[in-house]
Amino acid sequence: MTRHEPLRADTDRERVLFTAARLFREYGFDKTTVRQIAEACDLLPGSLHYRYRAKEDILVDMMRVAIEKTIHGITEATTGTEDPLQQVRAALQAHIEVLLSGDDMTYVLLFEWRSLRGAARKEMIRERDRYERCWATMLEALKEQGLIRQDVDTHLLRLIGLGAINWMATWYKKGGKYSLEEIGESLWSIISRGILVPTHADMRKI
């Protein structure tokens, strides 16, 4: 995708990705021009082209970084405990933090996958599935251990829960009415009461 393997120094690569992500988020992928990106990076279009042959390659590379960061985020958050309930709670908060803590790449990952076609789109769908499998594993563990009601479909639960979080990127404003902790707490309050079996309701306050 880029001209060289392995990639150039991360500082250089990430400077471009960081800058491009900000522009893609503000103007959208299609409305952002390669000249804009180059200028914002203090590069001339030709120099940017040396790093990424095509505009789409920037988007793909950015999404790879974003998904890696997200997976790393929830992996790190869940390694602190063996309790499956606390793991889910921590992963929820981690996903919220990664998405809403001003990370433009994650935002772009969520809202610009429609700009990709063919092989690039397929790759990103595979990557997304890789991430969602982390969640599937956690939720199925909850169910197997009898912590959540048997009539809860864990697949639907995952889609609904992650959907609620992902959509937050459309309305959350840093420094606004709600903190990330409040948001996570509210969501968990609703979901935990919504899915846990009554006998475990006392465990929900973690």
Partner DNA sequence: GTCTATACTCTGATAGAC
Partner DNA sequence: GTCTATCAGAGTATAGAC
Contact range with a second copy by CB under 8 A, out of 15-23, 52-60, 93-101, 184-192: 184-192
Q: CB of residue 181 vs DNA: minimum separation in angstroms?
A: 39
Query: Is the backbone peptide bond immediately before 6 cis, with ω within 30 degrees of 0?
Result: yes
Considering only residues 177, 199, 202, 205, which one is a binding residue for a second copy as defined by CB under 8 A? Answer: 177
Which is nearer to a second copy, 45 or 163 (by Cβ)? 163
Q: CB of residue 30 vs DNA: minimum separation in angstroms?
A: 7
- Burial, 178: exposed, middle or buried (Cβ in 10 Å; 0-12, 13-18, 19+)? middle
Partner residues linked to 52 by β-bridges: 2
Asked if 40 touches DNA (CB under 7 A), the answer is no
- Report what 54 binds from DNA, a second copy, none; CB cut-off 5-8 Å by kind: DNA
- 23: Cβ contacts below 8 Å, ≥ 6 apart: 32, 36, 37, 40
Partner residues linked to 196 by β-bridges: 148
Considering only residues 59, 88, 109, 168, which one is a binding residue for a second copy as defined by CB under 8 A? Answer: 168
Considering only residues 4, 114, 117, 173, which one is a binding residue for DNA as defined by CB under 7 A? Answer: 4
Considering only residues 10, 26, 28, 54, which one is a binding residue for DNA as defined by CB under 7 A? Answer: 54
Structure tokens that stand for 154 in this block:
């864990």
Which is nearer to a second copy, 130 or 193 (by Cβ)? 193
Q: CB of residue 5 vs a second copy: minimum separation in angstroms?
A: 29
Q: Are 7 and 39 in contact (CB under 8 A)?
A: no
C-alpha triplet 64, 66, 68: angle, nearest 5°: 70
